[in-house]
Amino acid sequence: MNTQELQAKLLIYYQLKFAAREQQTLADFRALTNGFASDVYAYTLTYRMGATVYHEPRVLKLYSAGVGGADRALKERHALRSLHEEGFPVPGSTLVEVDEGHLGRPFVIMEQVEGQTMWQALETASPERRRDLIRLFSGLLADLHSLSYAVLVPNLLIRDEYTLIKREIHNLKQGGTEFLPLVEWLQARRELVPCKRPVVTHRDYHPWNIIITEQGMYEGIIIDWGWQISDPRFDLGWTLSLMERAGHDDFRAAALDEYERIVGHKIEHLAYFEVLASAHWLLQVLNSLKSGAHLRNGARAGFRALVSDAAHKALDMIYARTGVKLPEVEAQIR
């Protein structure tokens, strides 16, 4: 579906969903990102209610078709709504739709946040401004980890301090036999990493998922929530290993120093969680390559080329920290 067709179908959806609104139009409809798992568009919705005309900047996020995409849409909408009500800096969401009959895929519509990604801001920042942005980056993550997980999951059953790490390892094991050597390494050491304080984890926290705003209550707004209740070290391990794969070691070191300064202590057994998070990232890569569920329009070859270098760096990091090699994973990302 091209952009014009999508805009026309979205307008029909609005007209059906909000029949009492008059003169509904969509203006400045444009793609923000076209990824392998989701596509994001911005536009302005205009309509009349009585004598009042409303202009509402909005973002449409389309997920992959099928049950997985519907689950992701519902999950992200839940996080946006609940965290926004809590006063945490996320875009406000207006609705979620899992009926694929409207736009061909599940979707969420949310408020449009004006600004630039944190990474864009970092690229042109003075040294002093860069330090401020890194403080903001680590501060937002620490703030997230200071929230009660009950904000999103009020009735979560956690039997003991090892429940969540067991679940992380189990999910990796269920991903396929390719990771079994690493699963054994993780299981043998899980008693070293009890989770003292379960938190909401973002699961893909990096400077491209933070919008630096020019006005409003918050300077930084966090987007793209694939959240889970887990150990805060998983989030930190994901972020640090991602920045390492991207070649941004200076940012990685500064962000870790600032996070530890904010929380008031050194993070123990961080290497374990960097390995765990890297393995989960590799599992996502392999699942996309195997199923093609996220690779629309023959994009598998492009996806492989895009992630190949980072995937090999992830494998090298895992080997360096554990001594465990994953030849079946390596064979699939060549």
Q: Give the domain CATH number at 50.
A: 3.30.200.20
Question: Based on the domain organization, do 267 and 212 belong to the same domain?
Answer: yes
What is the overall mean pLDDT for the chain? 93
Question: Based on the domain organization, do 73 and 130 belong to the same domain?
Answer: no
What is the model's pLDDT at position 303? 59
293 has pLDDT over 80:
no
Name beta bridge partners: 213: 115
DSSP one-letter string for 46-69: EEEETTEEEEEEEEEEEEPSSHHH
What is the model's pLDDT at position 330? 93
Judge whether 106 and 100 are in contact, CB under 8 Å.
Answer: yes
36 has pLDDT over 90:
no
147 has pLDDT over 50:
yes
Residue 270 identity (one-letter amino acid): L
Given 86, 111, 136, the domain boundary residue is 111
Question: Based on the domain organization, do 164 and 280 belong to the same domain?
Answer: yes
User: Cα separation of 218 and 123, whole Å?
Assistant: 21
- Long-range interactions of 241-248: CB distance < 8 A, separation 24+: 241/274, 241/277, 241/278, 241/281, 241/314, 241/317, 242/206, 242/281, 243/206, 244/274, 244/313, 244/317, 245/278, 245/310, 245/313, 245/314, 245/317, 246/310
What is the model's pLDDT at position 217? 66
Segment 219-266, tens digit of pLDDT: 999 999 999 999 999 999 999 999 999 999 999 999 999 999 999 999
Q: Which residue has the higher pLDDT, 290 or 87?
A: 87
Per-residue confidence band for 80, with pLDDT thresholds at 50, 70 and 90: very high
Question: Based on the domain organization, do 12 and 32 belong to the same domain?
Answer: yes
Given 111, 135, 152, the domain boundary residue is 111
User: Cα separation of 62 and 104, whole Å?
Assistant: 9
Say how many domains are in the chain. Answer: 2
Per-residue confidence band for 333, with pLDDT thresholds at 50, 70 and 90: confident
SS3 content of the chain, % helix, strand, coil (to 5): 50, 20, 30
Parallel, antiparallel or unpaired: strands 52-63 and 93-97: unpaired
Question: Based on the domain organization, do 233 and 321 belong to the same domain?
Answer: yes
289 has pLDDT over 90:
no
Judge whether 297 and 2 are in contact, CB under 8 Å.
Answer: no
| CATH for 176 | 3.90.1200.10
State the residue range of the domain holding 24: 3-111
User: Cα separation of 175 and 291, whole Å?
Assistant: 12
Average pLDDT over residues 196-209: 96
Residue 118 identity (one-letter amino acid): M
Taking alpha carbons only, the member of 167, 188, 183, 190 closest to residue 328 is: 183
175 has pLDDT over 80:
yes
Given 96, 111, 126, the domain boundary residue is 111
User: Cα separation of 182 and 329, whole Å?
Assistant: 11
Average pLDDT over residues 23-33: 94
Q: How many CB atoms lie within 10 A of CB 68?
A: 16
Per-residue confidence band for 176, with pLDDT thresholds at 50, 70 and 90: confident
Sheet containing strand 220-222, edge to edge, reads 115-117, 210-213, 220-222
Question: Based on the domain organization, do 123 and 101 belong to the same domain?
Answer: no
Angle at 212 between CA 115 and CA 57, to 5 degrees: 35
297 has pLDDT over 80:
no
Segment 104-138, tens digit of pLDDT: 999 999 999 999 999 999 999 999 999 999 999 99
Residue 244 identity (one-letter amino acid): E
Question: Based on the domain organization, do 274 and 212 belong to the same domain?
Answer: yes
User: Cα separation of 81 and 56, whole Å?
Assistant: 18
Please count the residues of the chain: 334
What is the model's pLDDT at position 294? 47
Per-residue confidence band for 277, with pLDDT thresholds at 50, 70 and 90: very high
